[in-house]
Amino acid sequence: MSQNQDPMAQIAELIENKSNIKQHTYRQLCETFKQLKQEAKSVVERINAQIKNKDKDISVKVINVNDREFHVKMAGDLLVFLMHTNIVTLDEKHGFNKSDYVAENPIRKYLGQINIYNFMADSVTYNRLNDPGYLVARFSLNFEKRFLVEGKRRLNFMFDTVSGAPVTNTDLSIIIQLALAQTIETDLVTRPFPEIQRITLNEKVMRTQAMGGGYKIGFQMNENQKVE
């Protein structure tokens, strides 16, 4: 702010510009999350239709939690789709912020986010509060509904740049399918024997990971991932 600029005028300008764009982005995110939930139901229906010899105790279903969260239970895995209410920017070193797309119009940098976490279904069923969940993918969307996905394997290289067009139902369906496939392909790994030779009574009562429960290799976010 320059010395001659009226602070009230600056505040009004920020509200008019930055706050408005954030509200617009949030509305776009809410609409997209609803679409994502519907696509998840469609994907699950198609998966169930193709399972020929499914054990009666194995379920694949969508569980609605609220307007900002839903789950996909797939056998022993639970995918948690969580929409964040805050509009954010990525680290300034992130490739998205260095892209020509953002340089052309800086307000494009404001993003709404949906995270996809993988938990063991039993962790929720038996309320094992200390069991870890792992980030499978982070979906980010701006006011123009242009999006990027950060993840591993196919989720990474299929969406390694900001989209050239607004997100579609087909895009969302592909993201869901890739997240489900990656989850089911990652096996549960038991902990090494020396790590579980000694446990506390509290760990026994809480049925924590110290009792020898399995774990999955999680996804660590790379903030310097290239996005053009």
* Domain definitions of the chain by residue range: 7-211
Amino acid symbol at 73 = K
CB neighbour class for 96 (10 Å; exposed up to 12, middle 13-18, buried from 19): buried
Indicate the DSSP class of residue 68.
T
Q: How far is CA 78 from the centre of its chain?
A: 13
User: Is pLDDT above 60 for 214?
Assistant: no
pTM recorded for the entire structure: 0.79
Instruction: Supply the pLDDT for residue 223.
Output: 40
Mean pLDDT over all residues of the chain?
Answer: 81
Helical H segments across the chain, by residue range: 7-14, 20-50, 100-104, 121-125, 154-158, 169-185, 201-206
Cα–Cα nearest to 188, from 152, 218, 215: 215
CB 81 within 8 A of CB 72: yes
Which position has the higher pLDDT, 175 or 16? 175
Indicate the DSSP class of residue 131.
-
User: Is pLDDT above 80 for 12?
Assistant: no
What is the mean predicted confidence (pLDDT) over 26-31?
97
What is the mean predicted confidence (pLDDT) over 82-93?
93
- The predicted-structure confidence for 121-175, as pLDDT tens digits, reads as follows 777 776 777 677 788 899 999 999 999 999 877 877 788 789 999 999 999 999 9
